[in-house]
Amino acid sequence: MRRSLLTFAAIAVAAVGAPSSAALAGSAWDDVQANVFAGRTIEPAGEIVKLSAPFRPKDQSHVPIGVEAAFDDGRTIRSLTLIVDQNPTPVAAVIEFGQEREKARIATELRLNAATDVRAIVEASDGRLYMADRFVRFAGGQASCSAPPTGDPEVIAANMGKMSFEPLRKKTATATEITPSARVKVSHPNHTGMVMDQLTLLYIPLRIVSEMAVHEGDEHVLTMKGSMTLSQDPFLDFDYKVNGSERMHVSVTDSDGANWRRSFPIGQGS
């Protein structure tokens, strides 16, 4: 399943424009489900997965999305897939977890091109899939996937690949708890390939953050496969288990093959 997810995330770039009827919205999800999950059963999440998203975002180019997932039966979280039905690239991100996680919290920001259902699908360690979904209205104005990045292009290019690491709350966890949280952010325009340069009248080529990998010491925390649906300057909020390491290592790769690596101190024992 993970191979099909990543393949679909890389190639699912379709024509811009949002279907105008509920029937078409339904078919969008049907197509995504068939391509990404190959007919596998997806169960309602119930209390297993909680998805937060604004009903009407203030800025559709930076729509906050939060996911909490938890199992209490011994299973762990294998992956999380974020889907935006009506976007040109519906698979927004695929996050694969390390650390044998029974619980996890994730947050980021997405571009939403139209009114759409947003979905979070969690795969358990036994292969079962659970989905939570929310409808998000269109905020109006220009579709976010064809809107240019914010800021001076020269400054954006000069800062590309710069990273920051920010602890989100006091680290009081023991070795078996998951309370520490952090935000990793990378400066990157995440060009959608759908924005016209007003000087050359040519489209700015697609250039996106394709992968972000995080390790706590030598231990894999998570890997996120990205897409054009991630907002400009993508970030990821995540929690992690304490393992006694003193540094968090982050590697970011984009679709042009550029790679940036940083190592951040997290304190003795996290």
Distance, in Å, from the CA atom of 9 to the CA atom of 218, rounded to the nearest integer, reads 27
Q: Domains in the chain, please, with CATH?
A: 2-265 (2.60.40.2470)
Give the predicted TM-score (pTM) of the model.
0.86
Distance, in Å, from the CA atom of 219 to the CA atom of 177, rounded to the nearest integer, reads 16
Residue corresponding to tokens 């011994």: 74
For position 197, what pLDDT does the model report? 80
Which amino acid belongs to residue 118?
V
In this prediction, residue 71 has a pLDDT band, given cuts at 50, 70 and 90, of very high
Average pLDDT over residues 91-114: 96
In this prediction, residue 26 has a pLDDT band, given cuts at 50, 70 and 90, of low
For position 9, what pLDDT does the model report? 43
- Give the helix/strand (H/E) hosting 36: helix 22-37
Q: What percent of the chain has pLDDT over 90?
A: 73
Token duo for residue 68: 């909490």
For position 16, what pLDDT does the model report? 29
Tens digit of each residue's pLDDT (9 = 90 or more) over 176-205: 444 689 999 999 999 999 888 877 878 989
Is the pLDDT at 13 greater than 90? The verdict is no
Cα distance from N-terminal residue to C-terminal residue, the chain: 33
Q: Which residue has the higher pLDDT, 200 or 25?
A: 200
DSSP code, position 100: T
Distance, in Å, from the CA atom of 270 to the CA atom of 268, rounded to the nearest integer, reads 5
Q: Which residue has the higher pLDDT, 201 or 217?
A: 217
For position 170, what pLDDT does the model report? 54
Is the pLDDT at 45 greater than 80? The verdict is yes
Which amino acid belongs to residue 165?
F
Is the pLDDT at 21 greater than 50? The verdict is no
Which amino acid belongs to residue 46?
G
Q: Which residue has the higher pLDDT, 147 or 251?
A: 251
